[in-house]
Every structure is written in structure tokens, then in C-alpha cells.
Amino acid sequence: MHCRCGRETMLAFGMCSTCYTLRRQDEENFGGLREAVLERDGYRCRVCDAPGTGKRSIIVHHRVPGRSELRLMISLCRGCHARVHRTKAVLAVMPPLLLELWREQHPEGHDQKTLDFKRTIQPAAAIPLF
């Protein structure tokens, strides 16, 4: 007897420990919608299009923390998910979707996409020092 993923070791409900943990976490944290989000997004990161290679390689991100609705959840790779949560200030160019997700998580965050070196005011008049 094997789990759906192919492992021989069974824990409960005909699943291995990893599948059982993912199912339990899905019901507790994602309202049972985790798999539906992954299927909708083709098991790929919506920002960089990285494919999911393992059970936990693609993360389902809540756009509104704590609200498990299909339209408010999105699939992200580990790197993009970390950039959304751990970036404190945007000082480089980000893909538009990643920037939108970052702004949702950090509404008061500093967003410096481009530097403007054009002079907008006249320089002060020169004053002789000696």
C-alpha cells in the first residue's frame, strides 16, 4: 500500500506524514483551498513563472492575511514570497505583480523605484568665502 505521492510509509488516512501534514495545514490555514489555488496557477509562481518541483516548493500567499478566499490567494515560489515579506524598502526594480503584492503587505513601506536626478530648484547663489 502506498500514499498518493508514491511513498510506502503510511501514517493516517492512507497518506504519508508529509501529505497528511499538508492536508491538515491546508484545512487549518487555507480553508481547504491550497490545492485549488495551485491547480488554478498551474503549480507555478505567478511572478517569475518558476515551476513547482516538490510538494512545498510553491507557496500559497494570502493577499489579505487571514482571509482564505480563492480570489485573494496566489501561488509564489520561495524567493518571490520571501521578497514580498522580508523586503523592507524597494530600492530596485521589481516585476509589477511582485511590487503590488509588496505594497499590500507594507502599506507604509518606502517605495523608491527610480531615482530622479533632474534639478527641480535653482542652485543657491555663490558666496565668496574670502
Over the stretch 104-127, which tens digit does the pLDDT of each residue have? Answer: 888 877 765 555 566 666 767 777
Residue 3's domain comprises 1-30
Residue 100 lies in a domain: yes
Q: Provide the angle, in degrees to the nearest 10, between the axes of the packed helices 96-105 and 78-86.
A: 40
Q: How many CB atoms lie within 10 A of CB 102?
A: 19
Residues counted in the chain:
130
SS3 assignment, position 84:
helix
Residue 69 lies in a domain: yes
Q: How far apart are the first and last CA of the chain?
A: 93
Residue 23 lies in a domain: yes
Asked if residue 99 and residue 68 are part of one domain, the reply reads yes
Residue 9 lies in a domain: yes
pLDDT in tens, 86-100: 887 776 778 888 888
Asked if residue 67 and residue 46 are part of one domain, the reply reads yes
Asked if residue 102 and residue 57 are part of one domain, the reply reads yes
